[in-house]
Chain A
């Protein structure tokens, strides 16, 4: 196996997700494991990649790679795969990485398996573990053809220092396609520090689209207040402008692990689950008995949140008042 790991970075730091994938690839212990760091400041990050298991790091700092847009990265990685003779290209799930991985798979005519929660070598082949159908089955997935492309589910592998030394640093060939540089970043996201921090809360009450409208976040806020907890939200309601991004839980939001997570009107999409599955106790209120959230709740109540949530807030207050 000769594996290349796409090392995404932001604000001058390599992200934890791909570093975890790098460590996992190195632990498979077969063949070369290299990293690719593309964009401004890439070379400066190479030593850190080396400490996390990359023997070689491909870097490119072309101005067209400055904004975190996928298509020019596909052009560069396709050339790196060719130049370096890689048979495996690994990604940690992110908005950017998923688009790069799928574009690359198309370009190389390679198989892409996504949402993997583990990687293994079995009989000389790479095998991925892929939960499917709302995580109700786990498939062993493989690849045919010359190159295997994989996206690992967010938060799967922890980064680990492997004791590797200074990596060999190689300039990646940058030959960009015309269509790849037509999309332009007008305004790039920066983490908003404003808003309450939900990561340290012991209790979180989260609201989703089932609330029906932004005004109904009052129900969630009131229950959170009664329980002494913080309020969180799904991407669907943040995208819709019902609640601030700083309160979002999930793949593109916060990762939380409170003692209690109460999900109100949330379907339980994988991208939400990855941000809250570490919660000690999960209670879900959803009117749809088939909602995926019930698959990973400790207590699920099939019902209308407009009935259950205010009543629960009242009962909690009565209980606390009576103590």
Chain B
């Protein structure tokens, strides 16, 4: 079995994030890391591989050249191979442009199962899988809290607004997992050492046969027109707990007449 996992490099959690008012794009110059939600998808792929005995796990990403560093974390966890689609022309791609380029990279892999994370922490879209599945003409199930793969079928338990559904789809299929599906492992020292020597292919749009007018800003059908501040909100206080945190909450509740 072959499992592809779509992963993204995002600004590191806690790093100051800003949209560049010139380009209207997220400033990606700061510290970056593998999207935490995608670590769950990598973990799930590794667990399936371990359960099946034999499988190849390949991570696939669209992002800047330096994203190789972030992809290496998945290799250190145990993924076998990384494919990064990186091209100046792809910068600023929106959902449909990203889906098109990613679908091309995934077509080359012909994986039996394509996993996605819950959402990218920089866009909170939680939608890309549906666009990619449509491009690939594959069945798709999202928000998987549990996933089992047996006899060529993926079965998912997932939450909606009304409780839990159980859905199945024959492979090949696209499945997006929730952040509660598993507790991801930490890469071992051996894993980290071995990651560098695992295959890491960097592909250009030309390599994939994606024409330049379908990606980047040219291929995007959405645009940011202006940036403004969020609506004002009431006063907010943030304190460090130096041992008096509980007392300070109590005083606050009394002050607000909640106690």
Taking Cβ atoms with an 8 Å cutoff, the residues of A that contact B are 10, 15, 68-71, 74, 94-96, 98-103, 105-107, 109-115, 127, 131-133, 135-145, 151, 177, 179-180, 182-192, 203, 209, 227, 235-240, 245, 251-252, 259-260, 269-270, 281, 283, 285, 288-290, 294-304, 307-309, 311-312, 314-316, 319-320
Chain A at the B interface: SS class: mixed
Chain A residues lying within 8 Å of B181, measured Cβ to Cβ, are: 239
Which single residue of chain B is at the shortest CB-CB distance from A150?
B222
Chain B residues lying within 8 Å of A289, measured Cβ to Cβ, are: 14, 238, 240
Q: Is the CB of B241 within 8 A of A308?
A: yes
Is B110 part of the binding interface, using a Cβ–Cβ cutoff of 8 Å?
Answer: no
Chain B residues lying within 8 Å of A308, measured Cβ to Cβ, are: 241, 245-246, 249
Chain B at the A interface: SS class: mixed
Q: Is the CB of B241 within 8 A of A303?
A: yes
A39 to B100 alpha-carbon distance, docked (Å): 30
A70 to B130 alpha-carbon distance, docked (Å): 9
Q: Which of B235-259 contact A (CB under 8 A)?
A: 235-241, 243, 245-250, 252-254, 256, 258-259
A105 to B159 alpha-carbon distance, docked (Å): 24
- Interface residue count on the B side (C-beta < 8 Å): 86
Which single residue of chain A is at the shortest CB-CB distance from B248?
A301
Q: Is the CB of B259 within 8 A of A319?
A: yes
Shortest CB distance A256–B (Å): 15
Q: Is the CB of A95 within 8 A of B142?
A: yes
Q: Is the CB of B168 within 8 A of A192?
A: no
Chain A residues lying within 8 Å of B155, measured Cβ to Cβ, are: 186
Knowing A110-B221, A141-B222, A296-B233 touch, does A307 contact B241 (C-beta < 8 A)?
yes
Q: Is the CB of A238 within 8 A of B159?
A: yes
A239 to B147 alpha-carbon distance, docked (Å): 12
Q: Is the CB of B222 within 8 A of A113?
A: yes
Is B220 part of the binding interface, using a Cβ–Cβ cutoff of 8 Å?
Answer: yes
